[in-house]
Protein backbone atom coordinates (compact mmCIF):
# COMPACT_ATOMS: atom_id res chain seq x y z
CA UNK A 1 0.00 0.00 0.00
CA UNK A 2 0.99 3.67 -0.36
CA UNK A 3 1.84 5.57 2.82
CA UNK A 4 3.58 8.67 4.16
CA UNK A 5 6.27 7.84 6.68
CA UNK A 6 8.50 9.67 9.14
CA UNK A 7 11.99 8.37 8.35
CA UNK A 8 13.60 10.26 11.24
CA UNK A 9 12.62 13.10 13.56
CA UNK A 10 13.22 16.36 11.70
CA UNK A 11 11.79 19.85 11.25
CA UNK A 12 13.28 20.11 7.76
CA UNK A 13 12.53 16.77 6.14
CA UNK A 14 9.13 16.04 4.66
CA UNK A 15 7.21 12.81 5.07
CA UNK A 16 8.35 10.20 2.57
CA UNK A 17 5.71 8.88 0.15
CA UNK A 18 6.49 5.20 -0.29
CA UNK A 19 5.25 1.62 -0.39
CA UNK A 20 4.53 -0.03 2.97
CA UNK A 21 3.27 -3.43 4.05
CA UNK A 22 -0.50 -3.68 4.40
CA UNK A 23 -1.30 -4.15 8.12
CA UNK A 24 -2.96 -7.30 9.47
CA UNK A 25 -6.04 -7.14 11.72
CA UNK A 26 -5.08 -8.93 14.94
CA UNK A 27 -7.37 -9.91 17.80
CA UNK A 28 -9.95 -7.18 18.58
CA UNK A 29 -8.85 -5.20 15.52
CA UNK A 30 -10.39 -4.41 12.15
CA UNK A 31 -8.65 -3.51 8.91
CA UNK A 32 -9.97 -0.24 7.52
CA UNK A 33 -9.54 1.04 3.99
CA UNK A 34 -8.99 4.73 4.58
CA UNK A 35 -11.04 7.17 2.50
CA UNK A 36 -10.03 10.40 4.25
CA UNK A 37 -7.54 11.45 6.92
CA UNK A 38 -7.72 14.55 9.07
CA UNK A 39 -4.50 16.56 9.30
CA UNK A 40 -3.48 17.94 12.69
CA UNK A 41 -0.64 19.97 14.13
CA UNK A 42 0.00 16.90 16.30
CA UNK A 43 1.13 15.09 13.14
CA UNK A 44 3.79 17.73 12.53
CA UNK A 45 4.84 17.68 16.17
CA UNK A 46 5.32 13.91 16.02
CA UNK A 47 7.45 14.38 12.89
CA UNK A 48 9.51 17.09 14.61
CA UNK A 49 10.15 14.83 17.61
CA UNK A 50 8.46 17.16 20.10
CA UNK A 51 6.83 14.26 21.96
CA UNK A 52 9.70 11.78 21.83
CA UNK A 53 10.15 11.99 25.61
CA UNK A 54 6.53 10.91 26.17
CA UNK A 55 5.83 8.99 22.94
CA UNK A 56 9.13 7.42 21.91
CA UNK A 57 8.18 6.08 18.49
CA UNK A 58 10.79 4.00 16.74
CA UNK A 59 11.19 5.43 13.24
CA UNK A 60 10.39 4.81 10.47
CA UNK A 61 6.66 5.13 11.23
CA UNK A 62 3.58 5.95 9.21
CA UNK A 63 2.21 9.30 10.40
CA UNK A 64 -1.42 10.41 10.89
CA UNK A 65 -3.97 10.15 13.73
CA UNK A 66 -7.44 10.80 12.22
CA UNK A 67 -9.35 8.82 9.63
CA UNK A 68 -12.66 7.75 8.13
CA UNK A 69 -13.07 4.67 5.99
CA UNK A 70 -14.62 1.24 5.41
CA UNK A 71 -14.02 -1.99 7.30
CA UNK A 72 -12.58 -4.56 4.87
CA UNK A 73 -11.45 -7.29 7.32
CA UNK A 74 -12.22 -8.18 10.93
CA UNK A 75 -9.78 -9.86 13.29
CA UNK A 76 -10.50 -12.68 15.75
CA UNK A 77 -12.95 -11.81 18.53
CA UNK A 78 -14.54 -8.83 16.76
CA UNK A 79 -18.34 -8.72 17.01
CA UNK A 80 -18.98 -4.97 17.24
CA UNK A 81 -18.09 -4.19 13.59
CA UNK A 82 -18.48 -6.06 10.31
CA UNK A 83 -17.08 -5.86 6.80
CA UNK A 84 -18.63 -2.93 4.96
CA UNK A 85 -19.19 -0.73 8.03
CA UNK A 86 -18.30 2.92 7.51
CA UNK A 87 -16.25 3.98 10.52
CA UNK A 88 -14.04 6.77 11.86
CA UNK A 89 -11.41 7.07 14.55
CA UNK A 90 -8.66 9.01 16.22
CA UNK A 91 -6.48 5.94 16.38
CA UNK A 92 -4.58 5.15 19.58
CA UNK A 93 -1.07 6.29 20.43
CA UNK A 94 1.50 3.76 19.21
CA UNK A 95 -1.11 2.67 16.65
CA UNK A 96 -0.94 5.75 14.43
CA UNK A 97 -0.67 5.57 10.65
CA UNK A 98 -3.68 7.16 8.95
CA UNK A 99 -1.65 8.75 6.13
CA UNK A 100 -1.94 5.44 4.31
CA UNK A 101 -4.39 3.39 2.28
CA UNK A 102 -5.11 0.91 5.09
CA UNK A 103 -4.82 0.74 8.87
CA UNK A 104 -5.55 -1.86 11.56
CA UNK A 105 -7.57 -0.25 14.37
CA UNK A 106 -8.47 -1.55 17.82
CA UNK A 107 -12.26 -1.76 18.09
CA UNK A 108 -12.18 0.28 21.33
CA UNK A 109 -10.85 3.27 19.35
CA UNK A 110 -13.48 3.05 16.63
CA UNK A 111 -17.04 4.29 16.05
CA UNK A 112 -19.56 4.15 13.22
CA UNK A 113 -19.27 7.18 10.95
CA UNK A 114 -22.13 9.71 11.20
CA UNK A 115 -24.56 8.85 8.43
CA UNK A 116 -25.06 12.49 7.44
CA UNK A 117 -21.36 13.21 6.82
CA UNK A 118 -19.14 12.54 3.84
CA UNK A 119 -15.92 10.60 4.42
CA UNK A 120 -13.94 13.86 4.23
CA UNK A 121 -16.19 15.52 6.81
CA UNK A 122 -16.04 12.49 9.11
CA UNK A 123 -12.25 12.29 8.81
CA UNK A 124 -12.02 15.84 10.13
CA UNK A 125 -13.82 15.10 13.39
CA UNK A 126 -12.22 12.53 15.72
CA UNK A 127 -9.17 14.27 17.21
CA UNK A 128 -10.77 17.70 17.63
CA UNK A 129 -14.10 16.22 18.71
CA UNK A 130 -12.56 14.00 21.37
CA UNK A 131 -10.32 16.83 22.59
CA UNK A 132 -13.33 19.10 23.09
CA UNK A 133 -15.42 16.28 24.64
CA UNK A 134 -12.72 15.25 27.12
CA UNK A 135 -12.13 18.88 28.14
CA UNK A 136 -15.72 20.14 28.38
CA UNK A 137 -17.69 17.01 29.32
CA UNK A 138 -15.33 14.52 30.97
CA UNK A 139 -13.04 16.88 32.91
CA UNK A 140 -14.90 20.18 33.34
CA UNK A 141 -18.47 18.80 33.35
CA UNK A 142 -19.72 22.11 31.91
CA UNK A 143 -23.15 23.11 33.15
CA UNK A 144 -25.89 25.43 31.91
CA UNK A 145 -25.06 29.10 32.45
CA UNK A 146 -21.34 28.62 33.08
CA UNK A 147 -18.90 30.96 31.36
CA UNK A 148 -16.40 29.28 29.06
CA UNK A 149 -13.50 30.96 27.23
CA UNK A 150 -12.35 29.00 24.19
CA UNK A 151 -9.18 30.33 22.60
CA UNK A 152 -8.67 30.30 18.82
CA UNK A 153 -12.34 29.75 18.00
CA UNK A 154 -11.81 29.37 14.25
CA UNK A 155 -9.25 26.57 14.64
CA UNK A 156 -10.05 22.88 14.49
CA UNK A 157 -10.59 22.30 18.21
CA UNK A 158 -12.08 25.74 18.78
CA UNK A 159 -14.73 25.41 16.07
CA UNK A 160 -15.89 22.09 17.52
CA UNK A 161 -15.62 23.19 21.17
CA UNK A 162 -17.77 26.29 20.63
CA UNK A 163 -20.60 24.16 19.25
CA UNK A 164 -20.29 21.61 22.05
CA UNK A 165 -20.18 24.28 24.76
CA UNK A 166 -23.32 25.92 23.34
CA UNK A 167 -25.05 22.52 23.31
CA UNK A 168 -24.15 22.29 27.01
CA UNK A 169 -25.84 25.72 27.40
CA UNK A 170 -22.71 27.61 28.44
CA UNK A 171 -21.95 31.27 27.71
CA UNK A 172 -19.03 31.18 25.28
CA UNK A 173 -16.33 33.76 24.65
CA UNK A 174 -13.64 33.20 22.03
CA UNK A 175 -10.75 34.87 20.25
CA UNK A 176 -10.19 34.99 16.50
CA UNK A 177 -8.90 37.26 13.76
CA UNK A 178 -11.06 39.92 12.09
CA UNK A 179 -11.74 37.81 8.99
CA UNK A 180 -13.12 34.90 11.03
CA UNK A 181 -15.51 36.79 13.32
CA UNK A 182 -18.58 35.85 11.28
CA UNK A 183 -17.55 32.20 11.27
CA UNK A 184 -17.26 31.87 15.06
CA UNK A 185 -20.50 33.81 15.55
CA UNK A 186 -22.23 31.35 13.22
CA UNK A 187 -20.94 28.50 15.43
CA UNK A 188 -22.66 30.08 18.44
CA UNK A 189 -20.02 32.21 20.20
CA UNK A 190 -21.65 34.82 22.46
CA UNK A 191 -18.65 37.13 22.79
CA UNK A 192 -16.06 37.35 20.02
CA UNK A 193 -12.74 39.06 20.69
CA UNK A 194 -10.60 40.21 17.77
CA UNK A 195 -7.19 39.31 19.20
CA UNK A 196 -5.43 41.74 16.84
CA UNK A 197 -7.40 44.71 18.15
CA UNK A 198 -8.54 43.72 21.67
CA UNK A 199 -6.90 42.29 24.80
CA UNK A 200 -8.99 39.41 26.12
CA UNK A 201 -7.70 39.79 29.68
CA UNK A 202 -9.24 43.29 29.83
CA UNK A 203 -12.64 42.03 28.69
CA UNK A 204 -13.13 38.71 30.50
CA UNK A 205 -13.70 38.18 34.21
CA UNK A 206 -14.99 35.44 36.53
CA UNK A 207 -14.97 32.63 33.97
CA UNK A 208 -15.59 29.03 35.03
CA UNK A 209 -13.37 27.47 32.37
CA UNK A 210 -10.63 28.39 29.92
CA UNK A 211 -9.79 26.00 27.08
CA UNK A 212 -6.23 27.11 26.48
CA UNK A 213 -4.37 26.57 23.19
CA UNK A 214 -1.84 29.40 22.91
CA UNK A 215 1.83 28.56 23.41
CA UNK A 216 2.96 31.96 24.69
CA UNK A 217 3.72 31.96 28.42
CA UNK A 218 2.23 35.44 28.92
CA UNK A 219 -1.08 34.27 27.40
CA UNK A 220 -1.22 31.37 29.86
CA UNK A 221 -0.71 33.76 32.80
CA UNK A 222 -3.37 36.16 31.51
CA UNK A 223 -5.74 33.23 30.92
CA UNK A 224 -5.44 32.06 34.53
CA UNK A 225 -6.31 35.63 35.54
CA UNK A 226 -9.73 35.64 33.85
CA UNK A 227 -10.98 32.71 35.95
CA UNK A 228 -13.16 33.06 39.02
CA UNK A 229 -12.01 31.47 42.27
CA UNK A 230 -12.33 27.72 41.88
CA UNK A 231 -12.26 28.05 38.09
CA UNK A 232 -10.34 25.73 35.84
CA UNK A 233 -7.88 26.11 32.98
CA UNK A 234 -7.41 23.10 30.70
CA UNK A 235 -4.37 23.47 28.47
CA UNK A 236 -3.94 21.61 25.20
CA UNK A 237 -0.40 22.89 24.66
CA UNK A 238 1.24 22.42 28.04
CA UNK A 239 3.29 22.56 30.04
CA UNK A 240 2.73 18.86 30.83
CA UNK A 241 2.14 18.03 34.49
CA UNK A 242 3.16 15.17 36.84
CA UNK A 243 -0.49 14.07 36.88
CA UNK A 244 -0.34 13.63 33.10
CA UNK A 245 2.97 11.76 33.43
CA UNK A 246 1.38 9.42 35.98
CA UNK A 247 -1.72 8.85 33.84
CA UNK A 248 0.33 7.58 30.92
CA UNK A 249 2.75 5.63 33.12
CA UNK A 250 5.97 7.58 32.59
CA UNK A 251 9.02 6.71 34.73
CA UNK A 252 9.90 8.74 37.84
CA UNK A 253 12.56 10.88 36.16
CA UNK A 254 10.10 12.06 33.49
CA UNK A 255 7.55 12.82 36.21
CA UNK A 256 10.24 14.99 37.76
CA UNK A 257 10.78 16.74 34.41
CA UNK A 258 7.06 17.52 34.11
CA UNK A 259 7.04 18.81 37.69
CA UNK A 260 9.76 21.29 36.80
CA UNK A 261 8.11 22.27 33.51
CA UNK A 262 4.70 22.95 35.10
CA UNK A 263 5.82 24.48 38.40
CA UNK A 264 5.41 28.12 37.30
CA UNK A 265 1.88 27.61 35.93
CA UNK A 266 0.84 25.60 39.00
CA UNK A 267 2.17 28.24 41.40
CA UNK A 268 0.32 30.99 39.56
CA UNK A 269 -2.89 28.93 39.56
CA UNK A 270 -2.58 28.17 43.27
CA UNK A 271 -2.02 31.84 44.08
CA UNK A 272 -5.24 32.72 42.20
CA UNK A 273 -7.15 29.80 43.79
CA UNK A 274 -7.83 28.22 40.39
CA UNK A 275 -6.71 24.91 38.86
CA UNK A 276 -4.42 24.10 35.94
CA UNK A 277 -4.64 20.83 33.99
CA UNK A 278 -2.80 19.62 30.91
CA UNK A 279 -4.90 17.52 28.52
CA UNK A 280 -3.31 15.18 26.00
CA UNK A 281 -6.39 13.66 24.47
CA UNK A 282 -6.73 9.91 24.04
CA UNK A 283 -8.47 7.64 21.57
CA UNK A 284 -11.93 6.64 22.84
CA UNK A 285 -14.49 4.94 20.62
CA UNK A 286 -17.41 5.19 23.08
CA UNK A 287 -17.04 8.97 23.36
CA UNK A 288 -16.79 9.19 19.57
CA UNK A 289 -20.10 7.32 19.45
CA UNK A 290 -21.66 10.06 21.62
CA UNK A 291 -20.25 12.67 19.24
CA UNK A 292 -21.82 10.76 16.32
CA UNK A 293 -25.25 11.21 17.95
CA UNK A 294 -24.76 14.99 18.22
CA UNK A 295 -23.65 15.22 14.59
CA UNK A 296 -26.54 13.10 13.31
CA UNK A 297 -28.92 15.29 15.32
CA UNK A 298 -27.53 18.38 13.54
CA UNK A 299 -26.21 19.86 16.80
CA UNK A 300 -22.57 19.90 15.66
CA UNK A 301 -21.36 20.45 12.10
CA UNK A 302 -17.86 19.92 10.73
CA UNK A 303 -15.88 22.97 9.65
CA UNK A 304 -13.44 22.20 6.84
CA UNK A 305 -11.05 24.66 5.26
CA UNK A 306 -9.38 22.58 2.55
CA UNK A 307 -9.30 19.03 1.19
CA UNK A 308 -5.99 17.97 -0.37
CA UNK A 309 -5.40 14.92 -2.58
CA UNK A 310 -3.52 12.11 -0.83
CA UNK A 311 -0.33 12.75 -2.81
CA UNK A 312 -0.21 16.29 -1.37
CA UNK A 313 -0.19 15.24 2.30
CA UNK A 314 3.05 17.17 2.88
CA UNK A 315 1.45 20.32 1.45
CA UNK A 316 -1.57 19.76 3.73
CA UNK A 317 0.74 19.52 6.76
CA UNK A 318 2.57 22.69 5.73
CA UNK A 319 -0.77 24.50 5.47
CA UNK A 320 -1.80 23.36 8.96
CA UNK A 321 1.57 24.54 10.31
CA UNK A 322 0.82 28.11 9.18
CA UNK A 323 -1.93 28.27 11.83
CA UNK A 324 -4.29 29.96 9.37
CA UNK A 325 -6.69 27.10 8.70
CA UNK A 326 -10.37 27.76 9.43
CA UNK A 327 -11.55 24.54 11.01
CA UNK A 328 -9.91 21.39 9.68
CA UNK A 329 -7.70 20.29 6.81
CA UNK A 330 -8.26 16.83 5.31
CA UNK A 331 -6.53 14.60 2.77
CA UNK A 332 -8.67 12.47 0.47
CA UNK A 333 -7.03 9.05 0.36
CA UNK A 334 -9.45 6.96 -1.71
> In the chain, which residue ranges form alpha helices assigned H by DSSP?
41-48, 119-123, 126-133, 156-167, 181-186, 200-203, 217-225, 242-247, 252-272, 285-296, 313-321
| Structural contact between residues 296 and 106, judged by C-beta atoms closer than 8 angstroms | no
Q: What is the band of 320 on the pLDDT scale with cuts at 50, 70, 90?
A: very high
CB burial of residue 300 (10 Å; 0-12, 13-18, 19+):
buried
- Is residue 30's pLDDT more than 90? yes
Q: Residues of CATH 3.40.50.720 domain(s) within the chain?
A: 128-278
Q: At 10, is the pLDDT very low, low, confident or very high (cuts 50, 70, 90)? A: very high
The listed CATH number (3.30.2090.10, 3.50.40.10, 3.40.50.300, 3.40.50.720) that belongs to domain 128-278: 3.40.50.720
pLDDT tens track for 252-284? 999 999 999 999 999 999 999 999 999 999 999
Position 131 scores a pLDDT of 98
The pLDDT value recorded for residue 107 is 98
- Can you give the pLDDT at residue 245? 93
Identify the pLDDT of residue 54.
Answer: 86
pLDDT tens for residues 76-124? 999 999 999 999 999 999 999 999 999 999 999 999 999 999 999 999 9
CATH 3.40.50.1110 fits 2-125+302-332, yes or no: no
Residue 163 reports pLDDT greater than 90:
yes
Residue 12: burial class (beta carbons within 10 Å; 0-12, 13-18, 19+): exposed
Please work out, in degrees rounded to the nearest 5, the angle formed at the alpha carbon of residue 105 by the alpha carbons of 318 and 92: 60
Query: Average model confidence (pLDDT) for the chain?
Result: 97
Q: Give residue-wise pLDDT tens across range 166-195.
A: 999 999 999 999 999 999 999 999 999 999
pLDDT at 239: 94
pLDDT of res. 211: 98
Burial class from Cβ neighbours inside 10 Å (0-12, 13-18, 19+) for residue 194 reads middle
**pLDDT greater than 90 at residue 28:** yes
Numbered ranges of CATH 3.90.180.10 in the chain: 2-125+302-332
Q: Is the pLDDT of residue 53 over 90?
A: no
Residue 149 has pLDDT above 90, yes or no: yes
Closest-CA residue to 148 (of 174, 122, 130): 174
Looking at residue 37, what is its pLDDT?
A: 98
pLDDT over 90 (residue 246) = yes
The answer to whether the predicted template modeling score (pTM) of the entire model surpasses 0.85 is: yes
Share of the chain above pLDDT 90, in %: 97
SS3 236: coil
Amino acid sequence: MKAFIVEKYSKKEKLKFTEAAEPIAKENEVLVQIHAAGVNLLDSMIKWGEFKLFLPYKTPIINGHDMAGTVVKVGPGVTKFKIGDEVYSRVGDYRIGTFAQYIAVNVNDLALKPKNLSMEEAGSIPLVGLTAWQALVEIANVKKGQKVFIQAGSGGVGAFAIQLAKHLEAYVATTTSTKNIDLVKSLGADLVIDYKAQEFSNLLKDYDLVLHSNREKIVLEKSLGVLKKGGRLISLVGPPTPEFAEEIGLPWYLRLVTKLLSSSAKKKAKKLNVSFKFLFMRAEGNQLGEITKLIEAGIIKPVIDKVFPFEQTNEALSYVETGRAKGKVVVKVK
